[in-house]
Chains A and B, each alone.
Chain A
Protein backbone atom coordinates (compact mmCIF):
# COMPACT_ATOMS: atom_id res chain seq x y z
CA UNK A 1 0.00 0.00 0.00
CA UNK A 2 2.80 2.42 0.92
CA UNK A 3 4.73 1.63 -2.23
CA UNK A 4 1.57 2.12 -4.24
CA UNK A 5 0.91 5.50 -2.63
CA UNK A 6 4.50 6.59 -3.27
CA UNK A 7 4.27 5.65 -6.93
CA UNK A 8 0.90 7.37 -7.29
CA UNK A 9 2.26 10.52 -5.65
CA UNK A 10 5.15 10.52 -8.09
CA UNK A 11 2.74 10.09 -11.00
CA UNK A 12 0.65 12.91 -9.55
CA UNK A 13 3.69 15.17 -9.53
CA UNK A 14 4.31 14.34 -13.19
CA UNK A 15 0.71 15.26 -14.00
CA UNK A 16 1.03 18.57 -12.17
CA UNK A 17 4.28 19.30 -14.02
CA UNK A 18 2.59 18.43 -17.32
CA UNK A 19 -0.35 20.67 -16.45
CA UNK A 20 2.04 23.53 -15.63
CA UNK A 21 3.84 23.09 -18.95
CA UNK A 22 0.55 23.03 -20.85
CA UNK A 23 -0.55 26.22 -19.09
CA UNK A 24 2.77 27.89 -19.81
CA UNK A 25 2.62 26.95 -23.49
CA UNK A 26 -1.01 28.01 -23.92
CA UNK A 27 -0.64 31.25 -22.03
CA UNK A 28 2.73 32.41 -23.44
CA UNK A 29 2.94 31.02 -26.95
CA UNK A 30 -0.49 31.90 -28.25
CA UNK A 31 -1.17 35.50 -29.28
CA UNK A 32 -2.25 38.27 -26.90
CA UNK A 33 0.08 40.69 -25.08
CA UNK A 34 -0.51 40.97 -21.33
CA UNK A 35 1.44 44.22 -21.13
CA UNK A 36 -0.92 45.85 -23.65
CA UNK A 37 -4.02 44.46 -21.94
CA UNK A 38 -2.79 45.65 -18.56
CA UNK A 39 -2.23 49.20 -19.76
CA UNK A 40 -5.56 49.49 -21.53
CA UNK A 41 -6.56 51.03 -24.84
CA UNK A 42 -4.54 54.24 -24.55
CA UNK A 43 -1.10 52.68 -23.97
CA UNK A 44 1.77 54.02 -26.08
CA UNK A 45 4.23 51.52 -27.61
CA UNK A 46 6.93 52.87 -25.28
CA UNK A 47 4.84 52.27 -22.17
CA UNK A 48 4.08 48.76 -23.39
CA UNK A 49 7.79 48.05 -23.92
CA UNK A 50 8.59 49.24 -20.39
CA UNK A 51 5.80 47.13 -18.97
CA UNK A 52 7.02 44.04 -20.87
CA UNK A 53 10.49 44.63 -19.42
CA UNK A 54 9.08 44.87 -15.89
CA UNK A 55 7.02 41.68 -16.29
CA UNK A 56 9.97 39.71 -17.66
CA UNK A 57 8.19 39.09 -20.96
CA UNK A 58 11.23 40.18 -22.97
CA UNK A 59 13.29 37.12 -22.09
CA UNK A 60 13.44 34.24 -24.57
CA UNK A 61 10.68 31.70 -24.00
CA UNK A 62 12.92 28.85 -22.73
CA UNK A 63 14.39 31.23 -20.14
CA UNK A 64 10.88 32.26 -19.13
CA UNK A 65 9.97 28.57 -18.81
CA UNK A 66 12.95 27.74 -16.60
CA UNK A 67 12.31 30.77 -14.41
CA UNK A 68 8.64 29.86 -14.21
CA UNK A 69 9.36 26.28 -13.16
CA UNK A 70 11.99 27.30 -10.62
CA UNK A 71 9.61 29.76 -9.02
CA UNK A 72 6.83 27.18 -9.04
CA UNK A 73 9.03 24.73 -7.16
CA UNK A 74 10.00 27.45 -4.69
CA UNK A 75 6.33 28.26 -4.20
CA UNK A 76 6.69 31.75 -5.66
CA UNK A 77 3.82 32.19 -8.10
CA UNK A 78 4.38 35.86 -8.78
CA UNK A 79 1.98 38.72 -8.31
CA UNK A 80 -1.34 39.24 -9.97
CA UNK A 81 -0.95 41.89 -12.70
CA UNK A 82 -4.30 43.35 -11.70
CA UNK A 83 -4.63 43.07 -7.97
CA UNK A 84 -0.95 43.44 -7.14
CA UNK A 85 -1.01 40.87 -4.34
CA UNK A 86 0.50 37.36 -4.42
CA UNK A 87 -1.21 35.15 -7.01
CA UNK A 88 -1.27 32.02 -4.86
CA UNK A 89 -2.63 33.99 -1.90
CA UNK A 90 -5.56 35.17 -4.02
CA UNK A 91 -6.18 31.60 -5.17
CA UNK A 92 -6.06 30.21 -1.62
CA UNK A 93 -8.41 32.96 -0.51
CA UNK A 94 -11.00 31.80 -3.05
CA UNK A 95 -10.64 28.10 -2.32
CA UNK A 96 -12.97 27.82 0.73
CA UNK A 97 -15.93 29.14 -1.29
CA UNK A 98 -15.37 26.55 -4.01
CA UNK A 99 -14.78 23.75 -1.50
CA UNK A 100 -18.04 24.68 0.25
CA UNK A 101 -19.94 24.54 -3.04
CA UNK A 102 -18.34 21.27 -4.17
CA UNK A 103 -18.85 19.49 -0.84
CA UNK A 104 -22.48 20.61 -0.58
CA UNK A 105 -23.09 19.32 -4.12
CA UNK A 106 -21.37 16.04 -3.35
CA UNK A 107 -23.53 15.47 -0.27
CA UNK A 108 -26.65 16.40 -2.21
CA UNK A 109 -25.70 14.12 -5.11
CA UNK A 110 -25.02 11.07 -2.97
CA UNK A 111 -28.13 11.58 -0.82
CA UNK A 112 -30.53 12.28 -3.66
CA UNK A 113 -29.29 9.54 -5.97
CA UNK A 114 -29.28 6.86 -3.25
CA UNK A 115 -32.87 7.86 -2.39
CA UNK A 116 -34.16 8.13 -5.97
CA UNK A 117 -32.25 5.05 -7.14
CA UNK A 118 -33.61 2.91 -4.28
CA UNK A 119 -37.12 4.17 -4.94
CA UNK A 120 -36.85 3.28 -8.62
CA UNK A 121 -35.37 -0.14 -7.87
CA UNK A 122 -38.24 -1.16 -5.55
CA UNK A 123 -40.40 -2.09 -8.53
CA UNK A 124 -38.35 -2.30 -11.72
CA UNK A 125 -40.28 -1.28 -14.87
CA UNK A 126 -43.14 0.21 -12.85
CA UNK A 127 -44.52 3.64 -13.63
CA UNK A 128 -42.43 5.23 -10.87
CA UNK A 129 -39.27 3.53 -12.17
CA UNK A 130 -39.90 4.81 -15.69
CA UNK A 131 -40.65 8.32 -14.41
CA UNK A 132 -37.40 8.43 -12.40
CA UNK A 133 -35.50 7.07 -15.42
CA UNK A 134 -36.86 9.84 -17.66
CA UNK A 135 -36.17 12.55 -15.09
CA UNK A 136 -32.60 11.27 -14.63
CA UNK A 137 -32.00 11.38 -18.37
CA UNK A 138 -33.41 14.91 -18.54
CA UNK A 139 -31.19 15.90 -15.60
CA UNK A 140 -28.14 14.70 -17.50
CA UNK A 141 -29.21 16.46 -20.68
CA UNK A 142 -30.06 19.87 -19.22
CA UNK A 143 -27.20 22.39 -19.37
CA UNK A 144 -26.37 23.41 -15.79
CA UNK A 145 -26.02 27.14 -16.50
CA UNK A 146 -29.54 27.11 -17.92
CA UNK A 147 -30.91 25.21 -14.92
CA UNK A 148 -29.29 27.84 -12.71
CA UNK A 149 -31.03 30.65 -14.57
CA UNK A 150 -34.38 28.84 -14.45
CA UNK A 151 -33.83 28.34 -10.71
CA UNK A 152 -33.15 32.05 -10.26
CA UNK A 153 -36.23 32.89 -12.31
CA UNK A 154 -38.55 30.68 -10.26
CA UNK A 155 -37.14 30.75 -6.72
CA UNK A 156 -35.59 34.23 -6.57
CA UNK A 157 -37.58 36.43 -8.95
CA UNK A 158 -41.03 34.87 -8.72
CA UNK A 159 -41.31 33.23 -5.32
CA UNK A 160 -38.59 35.37 -3.67
CA UNK A 161 -37.56 32.39 -1.51
CA UNK A 162 -33.85 32.24 -2.23
CA UNK A 163 -31.08 34.74 -2.96
CA UNK A 164 -29.89 34.65 -6.58
CA UNK A 165 -26.22 35.55 -6.23
CA UNK A 166 -23.24 35.76 -3.91
CA UNK A 167 -22.09 33.73 -0.93
CA UNK A 168 -23.52 33.98 2.57
CA UNK A 169 -25.55 31.74 4.81
CA UNK A 170 -27.06 28.38 4.03
CA UNK A 171 -29.76 29.92 1.83
CA UNK A 172 -27.16 31.27 -0.57
CA UNK A 173 -25.81 27.79 -1.01
CA UNK A 174 -29.10 26.15 -2.07
CA UNK A 175 -29.47 27.25 -5.70
CA UNK A 176 -25.78 26.93 -6.72
CA UNK A 177 -25.30 23.51 -5.14
CA UNK A 178 -28.54 22.14 -6.60
CA UNK A 179 -27.58 23.53 -10.03
CA UNK A 180 -24.16 21.92 -9.81
CA UNK A 181 -25.45 18.52 -8.65
CA UNK A 182 -28.44 17.95 -10.97
CA UNK A 183 -26.47 16.28 -13.77
CA UNK A 184 -24.56 14.08 -11.34
CA UNK A 185 -27.78 13.09 -9.57
CA UNK A 186 -29.15 11.98 -12.95
CA UNK A 187 -26.08 9.89 -13.68
CA UNK A 188 -25.74 8.35 -10.23
CA UNK A 189 -29.45 7.56 -9.83
CA UNK A 190 -29.31 5.32 -12.89
CA UNK A 191 -26.17 3.66 -11.56
CA UNK A 192 -27.65 3.07 -8.09
CA UNK A 193 -30.89 1.71 -9.53
CA UNK A 194 -29.06 -0.73 -11.81
CA UNK A 195 -26.78 -1.81 -8.94
CA UNK A 196 -29.63 -2.48 -6.51
CA UNK A 197 -31.67 -4.38 -9.10
CA UNK A 198 -28.65 -6.54 -9.85
CA UNK A 199 -27.72 -7.20 -6.21
CA UNK A 200 -31.23 -7.73 -4.86
CA UNK A 201 -31.29 -11.12 -6.59
CA UNK A 202 -27.91 -12.29 -5.34
CA UNK A 203 -27.23 -14.87 -2.68
CA UNK A 204 -26.04 -12.50 0.02
CA UNK A 205 -29.25 -10.48 -0.23
CA UNK A 206 -31.37 -13.62 -0.14
CA UNK A 207 -29.51 -14.91 2.90
CA UNK A 208 -29.99 -11.59 4.69
CA UNK A 209 -33.72 -11.73 3.99
CA UNK A 210 -33.86 -15.36 5.08
CA UNK A 211 -32.33 -14.33 8.42
CA UNK A 212 -35.48 -12.30 8.89
CA UNK A 213 -34.01 -8.84 8.33
CA UNK A 214 -36.42 -6.16 7.17
CA UNK A 215 -36.19 -5.03 3.57
CA UNK A 216 -34.82 -1.65 4.70
CA UNK A 217 -32.08 -3.27 6.73
CA UNK A 218 -31.09 -5.52 3.84
CA UNK A 219 -30.89 -2.46 1.65
CA UNK A 220 -28.88 -0.29 4.03
CA UNK A 221 -26.62 -2.85 5.68
CA UNK A 222 -25.97 -5.21 2.78
CA UNK A 223 -26.80 -3.69 -0.58
CA UNK A 224 -25.63 -0.10 0.00
CA UNK A 225 -22.30 -1.41 1.26
CA UNK A 226 -21.73 -3.21 -2.01
CA UNK A 227 -22.99 -0.19 -3.94
CA UNK A 228 -20.27 2.04 -2.51
CA UNK A 229 -17.58 0.84 -4.91
CA UNK A 230 -19.28 1.67 -8.22
CA UNK A 231 -20.53 4.92 -6.68
CA UNK A 232 -17.02 5.95 -5.63
CA UNK A 233 -15.68 4.93 -9.06
CA UNK A 234 -18.26 7.09 -10.80
CA UNK A 235 -17.55 10.06 -8.52
CA UNK A 236 -13.85 9.70 -9.36
CA UNK A 237 -14.58 9.59 -13.09
CA UNK A 238 -16.80 12.66 -12.87
CA UNK A 239 -14.35 14.90 -11.01
CA UNK A 240 -13.20 16.55 -14.24
CA UNK A 241 -16.79 17.31 -15.21
CA UNK A 242 -17.31 18.71 -11.72
CA UNK A 243 -14.48 21.21 -12.23
CA UNK A 244 -16.10 22.42 -15.46
CA UNK A 245 -19.47 22.59 -13.70
CA UNK A 246 -17.98 24.66 -10.89
CA UNK A 247 -16.62 27.24 -13.35
CA UNK A 248 -20.01 27.64 -15.06
CA UNK A 249 -22.09 27.58 -11.86
CA UNK A 250 -19.90 30.15 -10.14
CA UNK A 251 -20.30 32.41 -13.17
CA UNK A 252 -24.10 32.14 -13.10
CA UNK A 253 -24.41 32.84 -9.37
CA UNK A 254 -21.48 35.28 -9.00
CA UNK A 255 -20.09 32.81 -6.44
CA UNK A 256 -16.72 34.14 -5.25
CA UNK A 257 -14.76 30.92 -5.85
CA UNK A 258 -11.89 29.59 -7.94
CA UNK A 259 -13.93 29.11 -11.13
CA UNK A 260 -14.99 32.75 -11.21
CA UNK A 261 -11.39 33.75 -10.42
CA UNK A 262 -10.06 31.73 -13.37
CA UNK A 263 -12.58 33.18 -15.83
CA UNK A 264 -11.89 36.78 -14.80
CA UNK A 265 -8.12 36.18 -14.75
CA UNK A 266 -8.32 34.84 -18.31
CA UNK A 267 -10.40 37.81 -19.45
CA UNK A 268 -7.76 40.13 -17.95
CA UNK A 269 -4.83 38.07 -19.32
CA UNK A 270 -3.55 38.00 -15.75
CA UNK A 271 -0.89 35.33 -16.47
CA UNK A 272 0.44 34.72 -12.95
CA UNK A 273 -3.07 34.42 -11.57
CA UNK A 274 -4.18 32.06 -14.36
CA UNK A 275 -1.10 29.91 -13.82
CA UNK A 276 -1.49 29.79 -10.05
CA UNK A 277 -5.23 29.07 -10.21
CA UNK A 278 -4.98 26.36 -12.85
CA UNK A 279 -1.96 24.72 -11.19
CA UNK A 280 -3.77 24.72 -7.87
CA UNK A 281 -6.89 23.21 -9.47
CA UNK A 282 -4.79 20.52 -11.17
CA UNK A 283 -3.13 19.73 -7.86
CA UNK A 284 -6.44 19.43 -5.97
CA UNK A 285 -7.81 17.37 -8.85
CA UNK A 286 -4.89 14.92 -8.76
CA UNK A 287 -5.02 14.63 -4.96
CA UNK A 288 -8.77 13.94 -5.04
CA UNK A 289 -8.23 11.20 -7.61
CA UNK A 290 -5.59 9.74 -5.33
CA UNK A 291 -8.03 9.85 -2.42
CA UNK A 292 -10.64 8.03 -4.53
CA UNK A 293 -8.14 5.25 -5.26
CA UNK A 294 -7.20 4.98 -1.60
CA UNK A 295 -10.91 4.89 -0.68
CA UNK A 296 -11.31 1.80 -2.86
CA UNK A 297 -8.82 -0.17 -0.87
CA UNK A 298 -10.58 0.77 2.36
CA UNK A 299 -14.03 -0.06 1.01
CA UNK A 300 -13.21 -3.35 -0.64
CA UNK A 301 -10.71 -5.58 1.15
CA UNK A 302 -10.40 -7.65 -2.03
CA UNK A 303 -8.58 -4.80 -3.74
CA UNK A 304 -4.87 -4.90 -2.98
CA UNK A 305 -2.52 -2.42 -4.53
CA UNK A 306 0.99 -3.57 -5.09
Chain B
Protein backbone atom coordinates (compact mmCIF):
# COMPACT_ATOMS: atom_id res chain seq x y z
CA UNK B 1 0.00 0.00 0.00
CA UNK B 2 1.17 3.51 -0.83
CA UNK B 3 2.05 5.71 2.10
CA UNK B 4 -0.25 8.69 2.15
CA UNK B 5 1.56 11.94 1.52
CA UNK B 6 0.03 15.30 2.36
CA UNK B 7 0.78 17.88 -0.29
CA UNK B 8 -0.84 20.78 1.54
CA UNK B 9 1.39 23.22 3.37
CA UNK B 10 1.43 22.35 7.07
CA UNK B 11 -0.03 24.72 9.61
CA UNK B 12 -2.39 26.53 7.25
CA UNK B 13 -5.48 24.78 8.45
CA UNK B 14 -4.49 25.29 12.07
CA UNK B 15 -5.41 29.00 11.89
CA UNK B 16 -8.92 30.30 11.49
CA UNK B 17 -9.29 32.10 8.19
CA UNK B 18 -10.62 35.20 9.93
CA UNK B 19 -7.45 35.48 12.00
CA UNK B 20 -5.74 37.70 9.40
CA UNK B 21 -6.75 41.25 8.38
CA UNK B 22 -7.31 39.99 4.82
CA UNK B 23 -9.61 37.27 6.08
CA UNK B 24 -11.57 39.72 8.18
CA UNK B 25 -11.93 42.08 5.23
CA UNK B 26 -13.15 39.20 3.09
CA UNK B 27 -15.71 38.36 5.78
CA UNK B 28 -16.95 41.98 5.93
CA UNK B 29 -17.27 42.25 2.17
CA UNK B 30 -18.92 38.82 1.99
CA UNK B 31 -21.53 39.86 4.55
CA UNK B 32 -22.20 43.10 2.62
CA UNK B 33 -22.55 41.18 -0.66
CA UNK B 34 -24.88 38.63 0.91
CA UNK B 35 -27.01 41.45 2.38
CA UNK B 36 -27.30 43.09 -1.05
CA UNK B 37 -28.14 39.75 -2.67
CA UNK B 38 -30.83 39.00 -0.12
CA UNK B 39 -32.29 42.48 -0.63
CA UNK B 40 -32.44 41.82 -4.37
CA UNK B 41 -33.73 38.25 -4.22
CA UNK B 42 -36.20 39.08 -1.48
CA UNK B 43 -37.79 41.82 -3.59
CA UNK B 44 -41.36 40.45 -3.43
CA UNK B 45 -41.22 40.36 0.37
CA UNK B 46 -39.52 43.72 0.78
CA UNK B 47 -41.75 45.51 -1.69
CA UNK B 48 -45.09 43.78 -1.22
CA UNK B 49 -46.86 45.48 -4.12
CA UNK B 50 -46.47 44.85 -7.83
CA UNK B 51 -43.93 47.23 -9.41
CA UNK B 52 -45.82 47.06 -12.70
CA UNK B 53 -49.16 48.33 -11.41
CA UNK B 54 -49.95 51.53 -13.29
CA UNK B 55 -51.64 54.47 -11.58
CA UNK B 56 -51.77 57.05 -14.33
CA UNK B 57 -53.27 59.73 -12.09
CA UNK B 58 -50.15 59.52 -9.91
CA UNK B 59 -47.49 59.68 -12.61
CA UNK B 60 -44.14 61.51 -12.36
CA UNK B 61 -44.36 62.14 -8.60
CA UNK B 62 -41.05 63.14 -6.97
CA UNK B 63 -39.28 60.90 -4.41
CA UNK B 64 -40.89 60.78 -0.98
CA UNK B 65 -44.43 61.57 -2.15
CA UNK B 66 -47.28 59.92 -0.23
CA UNK B 67 -49.51 58.10 -2.68
CA UNK B 68 -53.31 58.09 -2.45
CA UNK B 69 -53.30 54.63 -0.86
CA UNK B 70 -51.10 55.89 1.98
CA UNK B 71 -47.84 54.30 0.83
CA UNK B 72 -44.80 56.48 0.38
CA UNK B 73 -43.04 56.30 -3.00
CA UNK B 74 -39.52 56.71 -1.64
CA UNK B 75 -37.96 56.97 -5.07
CA UNK B 76 -40.97 58.60 -6.77
CA UNK B 77 -43.15 57.26 -9.56
CA UNK B 78 -42.53 56.98 -13.30
CA UNK B 79 -44.45 58.18 -16.36
CA UNK B 80 -47.12 55.49 -15.88
CA UNK B 81 -47.45 56.01 -12.14
CA UNK B 82 -45.50 52.83 -11.32
CA UNK B 83 -43.55 52.92 -8.09
CA UNK B 84 -39.87 53.46 -8.94
CA UNK B 85 -38.63 51.91 -5.69
CA UNK B 86 -40.44 48.69 -6.53
CA UNK B 87 -38.99 48.68 -10.03
CA UNK B 88 -35.47 49.27 -8.72
CA UNK B 89 -35.66 46.41 -6.19
CA UNK B 90 -37.20 44.05 -8.74
CA UNK B 91 -34.61 45.20 -11.30
CA UNK B 92 -31.91 43.98 -8.92
CA UNK B 93 -33.31 40.45 -9.17
CA UNK B 94 -33.11 40.36 -12.95
CA UNK B 95 -29.68 41.97 -13.01
CA UNK B 96 -28.31 39.48 -10.45
CA UNK B 97 -30.00 36.51 -12.12
CA UNK B 98 -28.58 37.39 -15.54
CA UNK B 99 -25.10 38.27 -14.29
CA UNK B 100 -24.62 35.20 -12.09
CA UNK B 101 -26.03 32.69 -14.55
CA UNK B 102 -23.94 34.06 -17.42
CA UNK B 103 -20.79 33.89 -15.31
CA UNK B 104 -21.60 30.29 -14.34
CA UNK B 105 -22.39 29.31 -17.95
CA UNK B 106 -19.39 31.08 -19.46
CA UNK B 107 -17.14 30.01 -16.59
CA UNK B 108 -18.00 26.32 -16.72
CA UNK B 109 -17.99 25.98 -20.51
CA UNK B 110 -14.94 28.20 -20.97
CA UNK B 111 -12.96 26.38 -18.29
CA UNK B 112 -13.90 22.98 -19.72
CA UNK B 113 -12.78 24.03 -23.20
CA UNK B 114 -9.51 25.51 -21.93
CA UNK B 115 -8.86 22.34 -19.91
CA UNK B 116 -9.38 20.10 -22.92
CA UNK B 117 -7.25 22.29 -25.17
CA UNK B 118 -4.40 22.48 -22.67
CA UNK B 119 -4.50 18.86 -21.55
CA UNK B 120 -4.93 17.04 -24.84
CA UNK B 121 -3.08 19.48 -27.11
CA UNK B 122 -2.89 18.79 -30.85
CA UNK B 123 -5.85 19.60 -33.09
CA UNK B 124 -8.24 20.16 -30.17
CA UNK B 125 -5.82 22.75 -28.83
CA UNK B 126 -5.43 24.53 -32.18
CA UNK B 127 -9.14 24.68 -32.96
CA UNK B 128 -10.29 25.80 -29.50
CA UNK B 129 -7.54 28.33 -28.91
CA UNK B 130 -7.77 29.90 -32.39
CA UNK B 131 -11.52 30.30 -31.80
CA UNK B 132 -10.83 31.85 -28.40
CA UNK B 133 -8.31 34.26 -29.97
CA UNK B 134 -10.86 35.23 -32.58
CA UNK B 135 -13.47 35.77 -29.90
CA UNK B 136 -11.13 37.89 -27.79
CA UNK B 137 -10.03 39.98 -30.74
CA UNK B 138 -13.62 41.02 -31.43
CA UNK B 139 -15.12 43.76 -29.24
CA UNK B 140 -17.45 41.93 -26.84
CA UNK B 141 -20.33 44.40 -26.61
CA UNK B 142 -20.35 44.85 -30.38
CA UNK B 143 -20.83 41.10 -30.81
CA UNK B 144 -23.56 41.10 -28.16
CA UNK B 145 -25.36 43.94 -29.97
CA UNK B 146 -25.09 42.10 -33.29
CA UNK B 147 -26.56 38.88 -31.93
CA UNK B 148 -29.14 40.61 -29.74
CA UNK B 149 -30.45 42.63 -32.67
CA UNK B 150 -31.32 39.44 -34.49
CA UNK B 151 -32.66 37.23 -31.69
CA UNK B 152 -36.04 37.86 -30.05
CA UNK B 153 -35.50 39.84 -26.87
CA UNK B 154 -36.00 37.63 -23.81
CA UNK B 155 -34.29 36.99 -20.49
CA UNK B 156 -33.03 33.61 -21.72
CA UNK B 157 -31.56 35.10 -24.89
CA UNK B 158 -29.79 37.83 -22.92
CA UNK B 159 -28.25 35.12 -20.72
CA UNK B 160 -27.13 33.13 -23.77
CA UNK B 161 -25.66 36.18 -25.54
CA UNK B 162 -23.74 37.41 -22.51
CA UNK B 163 -22.38 33.88 -21.93
CA UNK B 164 -21.24 33.63 -25.54
CA UNK B 165 -19.23 36.85 -25.34
CA UNK B 166 -17.34 35.80 -22.17
CA UNK B 167 -16.38 32.11 -22.47
CA UNK B 168 -13.01 32.86 -24.06
CA UNK B 169 -11.79 34.81 -21.00
CA UNK B 170 -12.07 31.62 -18.93
CA UNK B 171 -10.70 29.43 -21.71
CA UNK B 172 -7.50 31.47 -21.91
CA UNK B 173 -7.10 31.43 -18.14
CA UNK B 174 -7.70 27.69 -17.77
CA UNK B 175 -5.46 26.92 -20.76
CA UNK B 176 -2.53 28.79 -19.23
CA UNK B 177 -2.90 26.96 -15.90
CA UNK B 178 -3.22 23.50 -17.45
CA UNK B 179 -0.13 23.92 -19.60
CA UNK B 180 2.05 24.28 -16.52
CA UNK B 181 0.09 21.86 -14.30
CA UNK B 182 0.22 18.92 -16.67
CA UNK B 183 4.04 18.91 -16.55
CA UNK B 184 4.06 18.71 -12.75
CA UNK B 185 5.24 15.59 -10.95
CA UNK B 186 1.98 14.83 -9.17
CA UNK B 187 0.26 14.53 -12.54
CA UNK B 188 2.99 12.24 -13.81
CA UNK B 189 2.72 10.20 -10.60
CA UNK B 190 -1.05 9.86 -10.92
CA UNK B 191 -0.73 8.71 -14.54
CA UNK B 192 2.00 6.24 -13.58
CA UNK B 193 -0.35 4.78 -10.98
CA UNK B 194 -2.81 4.08 -13.75
CA UNK B 195 -5.25 6.92 -13.24
CA UNK B 196 -7.43 7.71 -16.24
CA UNK B 197 -7.18 11.09 -17.96
CA UNK B 198 -10.63 12.00 -16.68
CA UNK B 199 -9.55 11.22 -13.13
CA UNK B 200 -6.30 13.20 -13.48
CA UNK B 201 -8.21 16.22 -14.79
CA UNK B 202 -10.94 16.01 -12.16
CA UNK B 203 -8.88 15.15 -9.08
CA UNK B 204 -5.47 16.64 -9.75
CA UNK B 205 -5.62 19.45 -12.28
CA UNK B 206 -8.99 21.13 -11.71
CA UNK B 207 -8.58 21.70 -7.94
CA UNK B 208 -5.18 23.30 -8.55
CA UNK B 209 -6.39 25.82 -11.09
CA UNK B 210 -9.59 26.97 -9.44
CA UNK B 211 -8.19 29.97 -7.55
CA UNK B 212 -7.62 32.33 -10.51
CA UNK B 213 -10.86 31.17 -12.11
CA UNK B 214 -12.89 31.94 -8.99
CA UNK B 215 -11.25 35.37 -8.69
CA UNK B 216 -11.91 36.29 -12.31
CA UNK B 217 -15.45 34.90 -12.15
CA UNK B 218 -16.26 37.10 -9.17
CA UNK B 219 -14.97 40.22 -10.90
CA UNK B 220 -16.87 39.27 -14.08
CA UNK B 221 -20.21 39.36 -12.24
CA UNK B 222 -19.98 43.16 -12.04
CA UNK B 223 -18.91 43.43 -15.69
CA UNK B 224 -21.86 41.31 -16.75
CA UNK B 225 -24.32 43.42 -14.76
CA UNK B 226 -23.05 46.48 -16.62
CA UNK B 227 -23.24 44.65 -19.96
CA UNK B 228 -26.85 43.60 -19.32
CA UNK B 229 -27.75 47.17 -18.37
CA UNK B 230 -26.09 48.54 -21.52
CA UNK B 231 -27.89 46.04 -23.77
CA UNK B 232 -31.21 46.77 -22.11
CA UNK B 233 -30.56 50.51 -22.37
CA UNK B 234 -30.04 50.13 -26.14
CA UNK B 235 -33.38 48.29 -26.29
CA UNK B 236 -31.68 44.98 -27.15
CA UNK B 237 -31.74 43.28 -23.76
CA UNK B 238 -34.48 42.56 -21.26
CA UNK B 239 -37.85 43.18 -22.96
CA UNK B 240 -40.41 45.56 -21.49
CA UNK B 241 -42.29 45.61 -19.21
CA UNK B 242 -39.95 43.51 -17.05
CA UNK B 243 -38.27 45.83 -14.55
CA UNK B 244 -34.64 46.03 -15.67
CA UNK B 245 -32.34 48.85 -14.63
CA UNK B 246 -31.20 49.52 -18.18
CA UNK B 247 -34.77 49.69 -19.48
CA UNK B 248 -35.89 52.03 -16.69
CA UNK B 249 -32.93 54.37 -17.29
CA UNK B 250 -33.66 54.39 -21.01
CA UNK B 251 -37.32 55.28 -20.34
CA UNK B 252 -36.23 58.00 -17.92
CA UNK B 253 -34.25 59.60 -20.72
CA UNK B 254 -37.50 60.98 -22.14
CA UNK B 255 -38.35 62.64 -18.83
CA UNK B 256 -35.06 64.28 -17.90
CA UNK B 257 -36.74 67.71 -17.92
CA UNK B 258 -39.56 67.04 -15.49
CA UNK B 259 -38.67 63.82 -13.64
CA UNK B 260 -34.93 63.49 -13.07
CA UNK B 261 -35.39 60.60 -10.63
CA UNK B 262 -36.49 58.00 -13.19
CA UNK B 263 -33.13 57.90 -14.99
CA UNK B 264 -30.90 58.56 -11.98
CA UNK B 265 -32.21 56.26 -9.21
CA UNK B 266 -31.71 52.87 -10.92
CA UNK B 267 -28.18 53.89 -11.96
CA UNK B 268 -27.26 54.75 -8.36
CA UNK B 269 -28.35 51.31 -7.20
CA UNK B 270 -26.61 49.56 -10.10
CA UNK B 271 -23.38 51.42 -9.30
CA UNK B 272 -23.63 50.46 -5.65
CA UNK B 273 -24.25 46.77 -6.36
CA UNK B 274 -21.41 46.59 -8.90
CA UNK B 275 -19.13 48.29 -6.35
CA UNK B 276 -20.11 45.74 -3.72
CA UNK B 277 -19.21 42.93 -6.09
CA UNK B 278 -15.92 44.70 -6.87
CA UNK B 279 -15.05 45.11 -3.19
CA UNK B 280 -15.80 41.46 -2.56
CA UNK B 281 -13.76 40.42 -5.61
CA UNK B 282 -10.78 42.49 -4.47
CA UNK B 283 -10.99 41.11 -0.94
CA UNK B 284 -11.24 37.56 -2.30
CA UNK B 285 -8.22 38.09 -4.53
CA UNK B 286 -6.14 39.53 -1.69
CA UNK B 287 -7.13 36.60 0.51
CA UNK B 288 -6.65 33.75 -1.97
CA UNK B 289 -3.71 35.23 -3.81
CA UNK B 290 -1.67 37.47 -1.50
CA UNK B 291 1.09 37.89 -4.06
CA UNK B 292 -1.36 39.51 -6.47
CA UNK B 293 -0.60 37.52 -9.56
CA UNK B 294 -4.06 37.77 -11.09
Contact = CB atoms under 8 A, between A and B. Distances in A.
B14 interface: no
Interface string B254-277: 001100100110110011101100
A138 B150 contact: no
A247 B149 contact: no
B170 interface: no
Given A26-B146, A285-B139, A142 B256 contact: no
Interface in A259-282: 262-263, 266-267, 274, 278, 281-282
B226 interface: yes
Interface in B111-139: 133-134, 136-139
Contact of B142 (A146, A147, A157, A281): A281
A147 B151 CA distance: 28
A64 interface: no
A15 B256 contact: no
Contact of A141 (B149, B266, B274): B274
Listed residue (A26, A137, A144, A149) with the most chain B CB atoms within 10 angstroms of its CB:
A149
Given A19-B138, A278-B146, A286-B137, A142 B264 contact: no
Interface residues of A: mostly helix, strand, loop or mixed?
Answer: helix
Given A142-B267, A146-B270, A248-B141, 5 more contacts: A141-B270, A146-B263, A149-B253, A149-B263, A239-B139
Given A19-B138, A281-B139, A281-B142, A248 B275 contact: no
Interface size class of B (residues with CB under 8 A): 35 or more
B271 A142 contact: yes
B249 interface: yes
A67 interface: no
B234 A263 contact: yes
A30 B271 contact: no
A80 interface: no
Interface of B: 133-134, 136-143, 145-147, 149-151, 222, 226-227, 229-230, 233-234, 246, 249, 252-253, 256-257, 260, 263-264, 266-267, 270-272, 274-275, 278-279
A145 B262 CA distance: 14
Nearest to B134: A18
A137 B140 CA distance: 22
A191 interface: no
A41 B150 CA distance: 18
Contacts of A22: 134, 138, 143
A263 B141 CA distance: 12
A31 B272 CA distance: 38
Contacts of A143: 226, 229-230, 233, 246, 249, 267, 270-271
A32 B150 contact: yes
